[in-house]
Structure 1
C-alpha cells in the first residue's frame, strides 16, 4: 500500500505572487492545508522545520492545531533538528500534540541540515560539547527523547513525590504508540543502516549522499535495502516504514500549467532531471521535478525504484501559492496514488479511516 502526503516547506514572503505573505498567514494556511489534504483523501500532512528562516520553526503548536482541525490524516515533521531541542521538554510537547491529534503524529528527527546561523544550537543554549560531533550530539538527544516518550523514569523523586521507593519520575503526558512513530532523516546508506539498527522509521529526502550519476531512485533503493536488512538483523518487532520525498506537480488546469508547465528556462536549469552537486561537506544527488498530466506522472513514478518500494511518498508543494491552489492538486495526487497502487511493491500498512470533514474556505 502506498500512502501519499504533502510536505510543506512552510515559506512566507512578500514576494510578487505569494499568497502567504506573513507568519500569521503561514500558520493559518498550513492548518488549512491539512484540512485540504483530508478533504482530498490524502494520507498525510507533513511540515518542514528550519530555524532562522521565514518558514515553520516551532512544530508542536502547529501540529496540535492541525490535529484539532482534522480527524484522519497523519501529521508529520520532516525533520526536527534535534541539536536545537531539549529532549524532555520536546517529549512533553510531542505527547500533548499527539493526544490532541488522537495518536496521528509521525515525527521525523535528525542532526539537521546546513542552515543560515553560524551556531544556531549554541545560540539556543545548546553549544556543541568539546570533542563531540554534531551527529553524536543529535543521537544522544534523540535517545533521551525516545526514552522519555516511552515512559522510562527520568528524574529522581523528591520528598513530595508519590511514587514507590526506587521509582524515577516519568515525563507526562504519555501518548501510547508514539514511540513507534519516530522517523530519522538519513542521508546515505550508512546512516540508514544505523536507523534500522535503532528501530526507527526511515525518511529519505529529495537528495541523498552520492554522485555516481545513477538516478535518485536507484541510489535510494539501496539505502532502503540497507535499512530493512539492519532492521531485520536487529530483530525489531513489526514492519518498519519508509518515506521518500519527491517534487511532483500535476498539471490539472490553466493555472498549474502557467506556473509549472514546461518552458525552455526550466529545462535549461535542469528541473526535469536529477542533478549532482555538493551540500555541506559531501557530494549528493538531487532529485528532479516530476511535472505533467496524470498519465505522464504515473509512467515516470512507476519507474522510480525507491517510490515503488517505500510505503509513504511525501510530495513537496508550493505552499506560497496557498491552500486553495494546493487543494485542487491534492485530488490529482490522490488519483495518482490509486493508479500506482496495483503496481506498488512496498509493504502494506493498515489504516483506519474516519469520516472526512468538509474543506472550509475562510
Structure 2
C-alpha cells in the first residue's frame, strides 16, 4: 500500500457538469471541453456524476458517447450511476455501445438505493411498480451479468428477416471487469470486495464504528475491501482545489466555497448519518502534505479528484492545469502519454 513518497499511479477527475436550465447547451459544451483538456494534460480518467431533475448532467452516458468522438486515450467513467433510476438491461446496452465507441475505455461506476426524492418522483419513474421495486444489490448483479454476456433472453435465432441474440448487444469484452461500485459504508465495501468489483471511495461515508473522523472511517472501508479483494482497484475521490496559478479573485471565491461547505464536516448529517470530507484548498505543496497525512489516501494508488460544482470554465482550466503540472508530480504521478 502506498505511503508518503510512494507514487500515485493514476489520477483522474470528476465533474457534475453544471448548466443553465434556460440555456443548457453551453454548460454541456464546457464539460466536453474540460474533458478534452484533461486528456491533453495527461489525466488518466475523467468521470461524470449523475444529477436527475437538477441542472447537472442527467445523462452521463450520452455525454460520454460524445466524448468518445472527441478523445482518444483518456478513460471515461460514471461516478456514479444510481441504479434506482435505471433498467439494468437497457443500461447494459448503452454502456456496451459507449465502450465499443471508446475502444474499451469506459469505467462505469454504479450505486444502489431508492432514487433521491423518491416520494415525489416515483409516480413518474415507476407508476405501476413503485412499491415493489427492489433497489438493493441485485440490481448491480443483474447489470454485471448482462455486461458479462450472460443470457438476457430465452430466444436466439431468426424470425422472418430479423435476427435476435440471447445476450445484450453490442457485447464489449472486458467491460464487465471494469465495473465499479460507489460504496459509503463498511457493508457496501465488504460486499463490493466479495463480488470482485472495484471500489469507488468518495467524499461521503456513513458515520459508523463510533468515529466521526472521515479519514478514519473511509480507511476502515478500504481495508475491509482489500481483505476480500486483494487485486481489486480502489480509488479515492475528494474535492481538491490547488491555487498555484489562481488569481486573487479565484482564491477568494474558492475560499468562500470551501468555508460555506465546512460547517457540515465532522457532524453526521440526516437519517443516513452521512459524514462529508473536508474540501482541500491551497498550494500544491500544502495539498500534497495534507493528502499524504490522510488515512484513506494512504491506502489507494489512484484518485478521482472531484471538481467543485458551479465554477466557471476558466476556473476548471486553472484547477486541472495545476493538478497536472504541480500537484500530481508532488504525489509521484506522471502524465499519461500516447
Deviation at 1:273, TM superposition (A): 8.5
Picking from 244, 251, 255, the partner of 1:257 is 251
Distance in 2, Cα, partners of 1:207 & 1:97: 28
**2:154 pairs with 1:156:** yes
C-alpha distance 331-95 of structure 1, shift in aligned 2 (>3 A): same
> Structure 2 stretches of 5 or more lacking a match?
1-7
Correspondence for 2:199: 202
Contact residue 272 and residue 288 of structure 1 kept, 8 A:
no
Correspondence for 1:76: 77
Matches within 5 A, 1:1-362: 1-13=8-20, 22-112=23-113, 115-120=116-121, 123-125=124-126, 134=135, 136=136, 139-157=137-155, 160=158, 169-210=166-207, 212-232=210-230, 239-251=231-243, 252-254=245-247, 255-261=249-255, 267=259, 269=260, 271=262, 274-279=265-270, 281-334=271-324, 335-341=326-332, 353-355=336-338
**CA deviation digits over 1:276-318, x for unaligned, max 9?**
2223x22122111111111111111110121121132222213
**CA deviation digits over 1:239-268, x for unaligned, max 9?**
21112211111112214313114x6x965x
C-alpha distance 59-270 of structure 1, shift in aligned 2 (>3 A): closer
C-alpha distance 303-354 of structure 1, shift in aligned 2 (>3 A): closer
Deviation at 1:108, TM superposition (A): 0.8
**CA deviation digits over 1:297-346, x for unaligned, max 9?**
1111110121121132222213533333312221211231221128xxxx
Distance in 2, Cα, partners of 1:258 & 1:278: 27
Aligned-partner SS, 2:240: strand
Contact residue 80 and residue 109 of structure 2 kept, 8 A:
yes
> Structure 1 stretches of 5 or more lacking a match?
15-20, 233-238, 343-350, 356-362
C-alpha distance 10-100 of structure 1, shift in aligned 2 (>3 A): same
Q: Compute the TM-score of the two structures, normalised by the length of structure 1.
A: 0.81
Distance in 2, Cα, partners of 1:296 & 1:317: 18
C-alpha distance 81-11 of structure 1, shift in aligned 2 (>3 A): same
Contact residue 185 and residue 204 of structure 1 kept, 8 A:
yes
RMSD: 2.8
Aligned-partner SS, 2:311: helix
Aligned-partner SS, 1:173: coil
Higher mean C-alpha deviation, range 191-200 or range 66-75: 66-75
C-alpha distance 113-249 of structure 1, shift in aligned 2 (>3 A): farther
C-alpha distance 93-277 of structure 1, shift in aligned 2 (>3 A): same
**CA deviation digits over 1:62-107, x for unaligned, max 9?**
1111122111211111111112111111111101101111111111
Distance in 1, Cα, partners of 2:114 & 2:330: 34
Matched pairs, number? 324
Q: Compute the TM-score of the two structures, normalised by the length of structure 2.
A: 0.86
Contact residue 42 and residue 335 of structure 2 kept, 8 A:
no
**CA deviation digits over 1:157-207, x for unaligned, max 9?**
266269xxxx97111101121111111111111111011111111112211
C-alpha distance 193-330 of structure 1, shift in aligned 2 (>3 A): same
Contact residue 319 and residue 326 of structure 1 kept, 8 A:
no
Aligned-partner SS, 2:158: coil
Distance in 2, Cα, partners of 1:10 & 1:112: 23
